Amino acid sequence: MSTVTEVLDRNSATPLYVQLSDLIRDKITRGEWVPDQKIPSENEFNALYGISRMTARQVLARLVDEGLLFRVQGKGTFVSRRKISTRSPSYMGIREQLEQQGYATSTEILSEQLIEADARVARELGLAEGTPVYAIRRLRRVEDTPISLHESYVPQTLAPGIIERDLASQQLCTVLELDYDLQMAHVTETLETSAASKAEAKLFGNRPGTPLLLLEQRISSASGVPFEFARIHFRGDMIRLEFHYDL
């Protein structure tokens, strides 16, 4: 593989836009440009490399689409953070996956309370509206950076006193299985994009409207009894969810 230089070769068979793309990738790979660092503007690329603004705009747009860069309206283009790949929590708890990859994690309990199930929660758990359920909200961090917000709803009758457990140091799925014999056997999941609300953005330390991944799960036992409904918001700029299938 040829070495990327600081000069674009106009006599090369390689198109200028490819050369500029390779140059930007190389600077990021070598750590010359680090996450959250602002990179040159289209005008600056024009001055530095004699490439047209249109070509520079197309290159930056493509790298933004690939997730290598991100734009902030009115401020410029910045280097994205490297995304962490995880599988759905139905395969293995998110914290366990992250720690197996060598990341230091921590969990903050935002709230734990007994509430009356609203229409949505009741429907997902097969309960009558108003049935007592535990509502548990946790914020997960990787290397002190918030990456996911977990909201779980568990029927009180199936896991009495669960909020008295230490759910900051233990995974909820582990407590449900070991302490209440509620083992995950059937999972229904939906995945969609969402935009961070003002409150969510404050927790994640980013801007309202920032793209998030919303994974919803209805988890049932082997007998088909739903025992947890979960809503997990992942930072779209930091997490990539992987799905593997054997057909």
What is the SS3 assignment for 155? Answer: strand
Tokens found for residue 176: 């449900």
Q: 10 Å Cβ neighbour count for 231?
A: 19
* Closest alpha carbon to 86 in 95, 78, 74, 77: 95
Q: What is the largest CA-CA distance in the chain?
A: 74
DSSP class of 208: T
Contacting residues for 76 by C-beta, under 8 A, at least 6 apart? 38, 39, 41
- pLDDT tens-digit series, residues 154-211: 999 999 999 999 999 998 999 999 999 999 999 999 999 999 999 999 999 888 888 8
Stated pTM of the model = 0.71
Residue 86 has pLDDT above 80, yes or no: no
Instruction: State the pairing for strand pair 84-87/239-242.
Output: parallel
Q: 10 Å Cβ neighbour count for 140?
A: 19
Contacting residues for 179 by C-beta, under 8 A, at least 6 apart? 159, 162, 165
In one-letter notation, the amino acid at residue 33 is: W
- pLDDT tens-digit series, residues 87-120: 777 666 777 877 788 878 899 999 999 999 999 9
Enumerate domains of the chain plus CATH numbers.
Answer: 16-79 (1.10.10.10), 84-242 (3.40.1410.10)
Which residues are paired to 111 by β-bridges? 137
The confidence score (pLDDT) of residue 245 equals 66
CA angle, 88 as apex, 87 and 92 as ends, to 5°? 80
Mean pLDDT of 12-37: 88
